[in-house]
Amino acid sequence: MKRVHHRNHQEQKKCPSIIMMRLAGLCVFSTIILSVVFSLSLVLRDPPSDAVPISVPRWIDDKLLAGLLPAGFDETSCLSRYDSLINRKGLSAKPSSYLISRLRKYEALHRECGPYTQSYNKTVKDLRSGVPSQSSSAACKYLVWISYSGLGNRILTIASAFLYALLTNRVLLLDPGLDMTDLFCEPFPHASWFLPPDFPLRAQFHHLNQKSAHCYGKMIKDKSVTASFVYLHLAHDYDDQDKLFFCDEDQRFLDQVPWLLVRTDNYFVPSLFLMPSFEQELNQLFPNRETVFHFLARYLFHPTNRVWGLVIRYYEAYLANVDERVGIQIRVFDTGTGPFQHVLDQILACVFKENLLPDVNRKQATISSSGKPKSKAVLMTSLSSGYSEKVRDMYWEFPTTTGEAVGVFQPSHEGYQQTENQMHNQKAWAEMYLLSLTDVLVTSSWSTFGYVAQGLGGLKPWILYKPENRTAPDPPCQRAMSMEPCFHAPPFYDCKAKKGIDTGKLVPHVRHCEDMSWGLKLVHNYA
């Protein structure tokens, strides 16, 4: 859908915040009708001949994203949630009605058990007095997510933790850490997803590791499985005992524990799909397995107004008025400061080979074309500014072979990763979001930053292979099998047979990743 007009706010603003429920209902209803009519008029205005051939068909719907989002939030406090810029882009598929009903059920549970509710206070009191989990009479069970790793990883792990909480009827609470505030709006109505500052174990988070007495893997090793809370170590360096988390038998024990604390830097969802106890529920929630992160991300992660300002201003200034948007996400894991020639060579080899961007004619000064040329905007993100400068200069110095006009833009070049710096994280989040708004996406291998962009956008990216030995790989890139992120450190264990197994070969919808041979990712199973 080109030329995005996202100013149908006028209709929405006419709805006053009134107390009378019936009027409010009417107002919401008429807004939905208006936005559907508006979407339709846009569809009709855009003749199909204009359609970009490589972009995915979109599922266009009302501002609640086909019911994925709950109604009833104050719109001004989080403009991104119901913004039609995003909703015009639509979802890449329709969420199942079962997923929608489970989300509403979860919201009710979160409201019932959220911070400082009666149930929360009681469960915290039990925790304070060290009541062992089996004898606890807690009405609510919790999963506490501990802040850890880069922002891309955090977004993937919050989504994974939320799905696990949904499957096990737990309430997800986030440790805000030092820098999780002012990035995301609250996703659940009427109750915060942040852990209150006076939560008793908060001072301990920092010290929890694989050697802690409450660590599940350690408890197994010590054969002492009773505690008032359990720490789940699911980070990349976890060991065989920690990995027993992914076994049904161990889940039966964990189910009894009111407080689970998790530290992870991985998108562990693919392995949940290999557990018989969750199989049926997951099939119902996600009949199309490659939409898991897409739906969860669009449900959970809404930029705060501050971050949204970064997104909107950039989008309007550089991306809104072109025929096609191409995102290129460059993450270089080599040591030493870039830019590297082999990375630049690889980017160009990929976009030319796959026809994502036009090549240039280095022999001719100008190429005459009749009429207004087709325009493309390239959004490049990288810690270094070198790559986009070179690509931009190329399109300035030489004409494109197709006559297309290509602009190249890079929002920031932060130099190096600065976890716990607020503005740095806000820019990183805004850039992931901007990449998700492109029509065609190229990402770097191994990067969770890229996974977030592709998942939010519902895009199957072209993945740049990881360069080895400082040479551009050939072929330079490959189209992803699915829009799902890759689980970088999955277990290879058969819980029933109690032996090693290749978990990437068990079912058709969990396969090894394109960018990491030992990783696991979900793909749509046509069977």
Ligand X SMILES: *[C@@H]1O[C@H](CO)[C@@H](O)[C@H](O)[C@H]1NC(C)=O
Ligand Y SMILES: Nc1nc2c(ncn2[C@@H]2O[C@H](COP(=O)(O)OP(=O)(O)OP(=O)(O)O)[C@@H](O)[C@H]2O)c(=O)[nH]1
Exactly one of 76, 366, 469, 517 binds ligand X (CB under 6 A); that residue is 469
Angstrom CA distances, 507 to 248, 260, 491, stand at: 17, 29, 15
Q: Which stretch binds Mg ion (CB under 5 A): 93-101, 151-159, 160-168, 190-198?
A: 151-159
Cα 158 to chain center, whole Å? 9
> Cβ of residue 16: shortest distance to ligand X, in angstroms?
31
Closest to Mg ion by CB, 191 vs 269, is 269
Specify whether the CB–CB gap between 394 and 357 falls below 8 A: no
In 3D, which of 71, 70, 87 has the Cα closest to residue 24?
Answer: 71
Decide if residue 431 touches ligand Y (CB under 6 A).
yes
Give residue 66's identity as a one-letter amino acid code: A
How many Å from the N-terminal Cα to the C-terminal Cα in the chain?
A: 31
Choose among ligand X, ligand Y, Mg ion, none what residue 116 binds, the Cβ cut-off being 5 to 8 Å by kind: ligand X
Specify whether the CB–CB gap between 24 and 18 falls below 8 A: yes
Count CB-CB contacts under 10 A for residue 201. Answer: 20
Exactly one of 35, 87, 153, 210 binds ligand Y (CB under 6 A); that residue is 153
Decide if residue 150 touches ligand Y (CB under 6 A).
yes
Give residues 164-223 in contact with ligand Y (rule: CB under 6 A): none
Choose among ligand X, ligand Y, Mg ion, none what residue 29 binds, the Cβ cut-off being 5 to 8 Å by kind: none
Q: Which stretch binds ligand X (CB under 6 A): 52-60, 116-124, 160-168, 339-347?
A: 116-124
Site string for ligand Y, 249-268 (x = CB under 6 A): --------------------
Decide if residue 488 touches ligand Y (CB under 6 A).
no
Decide if residue 417 touches ligand Y (CB under 6 A).
yes
DSSP 374-408: PEEEEEEE-SSSHHHHHHHHHHHHS-BTT--EEEE
> Cβ of residue 393: shortest distance to ligand Y, in angstroms?
20
Q: How many residues does the chain have?
A: 527
Decide if residue 125 touches ligand X (CB under 6 A).
no
In 3D, which of 228, 260, 231, 257 has the Cα closest to residue 128?
Answer: 228
Choose among ligand X, ligand Y, Mg ion, none what residue 121 binds, the Cβ cut-off being 5 to 8 Å by kind: ligand X
Decide if residue 150 touches Mg ion (CB under 5 A).
yes
Give residue 447's identity as a one-letter amino acid code: S
Q: Which stretch binds Mg ion (CB under 5 A): 111-119, 150-158, 216-224, 236-244?
A: 150-158
Residue found under tokens 């602009």: 407
Decide if residue 200 touches ligand X (CB under 6 A).
no
Choose among Mg ion, ligand Y, ligand X, none what residue 468 binds, the Cβ cut-off being 5 to 8 Å by kind: ligand X
Decide if residue 160 touches Mg ion (CB under 5 A).
no
Quote the tokens at residue 313. 């201003």
> Cβ of residue 117: shortest distance to ligand X, in angstroms?
6
Decide if residue 515 touches ligand Y (CB under 6 A).
no
Decide if residue 450 touches Mg ion (CB under 5 A).
no
Return d(Cα 154, Cα 28) in angstroms, integer: 33
Decide if residue 152 touches Mg ion (CB under 5 A).
yes
Return d(Cα 279, Cα 283) in angstroms, integer: 6
Give residues 273-312 in contact with ligand Y (rule: CB under 6 A): none
Q: Which stretch binds ligand X (CB under 6 A): 114-122, 142-150, 284-292, 496-504?
A: 114-122
Give residues 311-350 in contact with ligand Y (rule: CB under 6 A): 331
Count CB-CB contacts under 10 A for residue 431. Answer: 26
Give residue 492's identity as a one-letter amino acid code: F
Q: Which stretch binds ligand X (CB under 6 A): 40-48, 115-123, 149-157, 170-178?
A: 115-123
Return d(Cα 150, Cα 452) in angstroms, integer: 12
In 3D, which of 182, 416, 387 has the Cα closest to residue 302?
Answer: 182
In 3D, which of 330, 298, 353 has the Cα closest to residue 479?
Answer: 353
285 SS3 class: helix
Residue found under tokens 């403009």: 79
Q: Which residues bind to ligand Y, rule: CB under 6 A? A: 150-153, 331, 381-383, 412, 414, 417, 424, 427-428, 431, 447-449
Q: Which residues bind to ligand X, rule: CB under 6 A? A: 116-118, 121, 468-469
